[in-house]
Amino acid sequence: MGPAAAAGARAGGRAGAGAAGAAGAAGAAGARGAGAAGAPPVAAPPRARRGRGAAPPRAAAAAAAAAGRGPCGRCGCLHAPQGPCAPAPRAPGARAAFPSARGPAAAAAAASVGSPAAPAWGGAPLVPLAASVAPAVALWFLCPHPAGVTSQAWALFSVFVSAVAGLVLRPLPSGAWALVCLTFTVASGILPFQAAFQAFTSDVIWLIVLAFFFARSFVNTGLSERVANTFIQLLGKSTLSLSYGLVLSEALLAPAMPSTTARAGGVYLPIIRGVAEQNDSRPGPTSRRLGAFLIQAQLQASAHSSAMFMTAAAQNMLSLKLAGEAGVVLAGPWLLWFKASCVPALVGLLATPLLVYYLYPPEIKETPEAPAEAARTLEKMGPLSGTEKLFCGSMGLTVFLWIFGDKFGVSSVVAAMIGLSLQLVVGAVAWKDCLAETPAWDTLLWFAVLIGMSSQLNALGFIPWIASTVNAQLAALSLGWGQAFLLLHAIFFAVHYLYASQTAQVASLTTAVLGMMLAAGAPPVLCALSMAFHPNLFGGLSHYASGQAASYFGSGYCDVADGMRVGGIMGVFNFLVYAVVGGLWWKAIGLF
């Protein structure tokens, strides 16, 4: 049995055929059979597998020692210490495991046999990475900068385009990609360090970050769940009235919970899922019974609850910041915003559940158990806790300062800081919760990078140049400011199919589009407010259009094809509501 074991080990270590070094004579025979007959190799246990040059298995080593042989330091085979490294025996017609060198490919193949597999690439996906970098390379090195644009502005624009492309294609997480682009901008000398990092001190950026922490406080205290269940108890007897209860409760929460995504994922998705499951509606064949309708109605209506209040969504505050940098500063922005948005937003809120009811009808029309279940949930929660009352007080003060703070010299971000400080003190939110809110810190980084680049492009004259160039083309078409205003809004709306984030589109396009409107002669306040309302209107356009859309579609209740159909129709409806109803209202209040 010793020679058989030695031959088998030599075949396993030398030729790589079969189960190298399986225990005892059975392993040797299996390896020899695989090499001679061309049969599939016998899989060896994980511990028995050895690469070239590795120590032989114990059984084969013992057999070799008995035969006066040992492992060779040159090839790993078991033969006499001074013996030649002979090729392993093989059946006639079988291919040699180590063919003679016939070029680089053969040498490489020989070198790779028996060696550990190369580790898989664990970095950024190469295709999205190349596609994200390509615009910067093409613009910077292949396209000369136009007359009227400095080489510095053109280089920064090249990097800016790649930064936006990376946010869409996502070779890295948003914050990581923004850091890469920021590093390149500074390292290449396009911008000095201070200019590149200037936006990190922006009050709007920090207001958006604080909004994430407020949303966490709402969820931690349970107040958001209490408000939603109260509306379900009052209005939840039928499927349609249940949807209205959820929609109106979100509109009530929106001004003090400045994140549409947080409201969707942290408050309404769990409630909708619970109500749907009570009625035997789950992802899959029964989703259309109830859950799919409730989710679509809530997603589409969130456009109007977010557009109604300045502090209802992150992109709202960002839009006003960009308008201010373009020279359009609004006095008393919170009240002015609400005055301009309340009529079209209210029309949209009241019409959306009914339209979705007919576009995407549920199979269940009545939900008699929903109010009773909401009442049981509220009874289980008990009366308002002390922490909830203190949280309500802190948020009440914050909203008051958001509305009237300009009369006291308190800015919106300072009001938010005061509110969060009070919530930390009373225990409505813990600092560890703030640190764990990774979307907030990720948003801080990529928002600041995009806003910083956009601001520098404006300062370097690139945005004014592109606005004047487009305005010249519009003037050649003999378009008045009203026609140019509507055309630019329509383009801004359609382009969102290329974006997976409302805020990313605002950060990358708003400054340029707003500049074109102003150059065409449109009223500044009308331009600033309409461009701030607009990003909310396409949040439900597709399953990837926004953070809240991703949350709702991720539940599995909504089919993507149906969602795209309903989203497209409701997106056009939203656009028309603000163009027609909003236009008439804005004319009435003197915006133009």
Instruction: Provide the pLDDT for residue 117.
Output: 63
Asked if 514 and 522 count as a contact pair (C-beta separation under 8 A), the reply is no
Asked if 247 and 349 count as a contact pair (C-beta separation under 8 A), the reply is yes
Does 82 score more than 70 pLDDT?
Answer: no
Query: pTM score, two decimals?
Result: 0.67
Greatest C-alpha distance within the chain: 105
Instruction: Provide the pLDDT for residue 113.
Output: 52
Mean pLDDT within 565-573:
95
**Residue 338 vs residues 53, 402, 459: alpha-carbon distances, Å:** 76, 12, 31
419: left (phi over 0), alpha (psi -120 to 50) or beta: alpha
Instruction: Provide the pLDDT for residue 72.
Output: 53
More confident residue, 196 or 211: 196
The backbone torsions φ and ψ at residue 54, rounded to the nearest 5 degrees and listed phi first, read -80, 160
Distance CA 290, CA 280 (A): 8
The residues that bridge with 78 in the sheet, in sequence order, are: 71
Does 476 score more than 60 pLDDT?
Answer: yes
More confident residue, 13 or 299: 299
Instruction: Provide the pLDDT for residue 323.
Output: 92
Mean pLDDT within 171-176:
90
Top mean pLDDT of 287-296, 465-474, 493-502 is at 287-296
The 10 Å Cβ neighbour count of residue 39 is 12
Residue 459: which of 510, 518, 516, 511 has the closest Cα? 511
pLDDT tens across 116-161, in order? Answer: 666 788 888 999 999 999 999 999 888 888 888 899 999 999 999 9
Task: Outline where 477-559 has alpha helix (H).
Answer: 481-494, 502-519, 524-537, 547-553
The backbone torsions φ and ψ at residue 275, rounded to the nearest 5 degrees and listed phi first, read -65, -40
More confident residue, 98 or 397: 397
Q: Name the pLDDT band for 446 (thresholds 50, 70, 90).
A: confident
Instruction: Provide the pLDDT for residue 321.
Output: 87
Residue 224: which of 428, 371, 473 has the closest Cα? 428
Does 40 score more than 60 pLDDT?
Answer: no
Return the amino acid letter for 468.
S
Instruction: Provide the pLDDT for residue 261.
Output: 82
pLDDT tens across 400-413, in order? Answer: 888 888 788 888 88
Instruction: Provide the pLDDT for residue 341.
Output: 96
pLDDT tens across 343-381, in order? Answer: 999 999 999 999 999 999 999 998 888 888 889 989 999
Mean of pLDDT over the chain? 80
- Expressed in angstroms, the distance from the first to the final Cα of the chain is 100
Distance CA 512, CA 17 (A): 65
Q: Which residues of 151-177 are buried (b: 16+ CB within 10 A; e: fewer)?
A: ebbbbbbbbbbbbbbbbbbbbbbbbbb
Mean pLDDT within 480-500:
89
Least confident among 304-318, 325-339, 492-506: 492-506
The residues that bridge with 79 in the sheet, in sequence order, are: 70
SS3 of 327-380: CCCCCCHHHHHHHHHHHHHHHHHHHHHHHHHHHCCCCCCECCHHHHHHHHHHHH
Asked if 562 and 360 count as a contact pair (C-beta separation under 8 A), the reply is yes
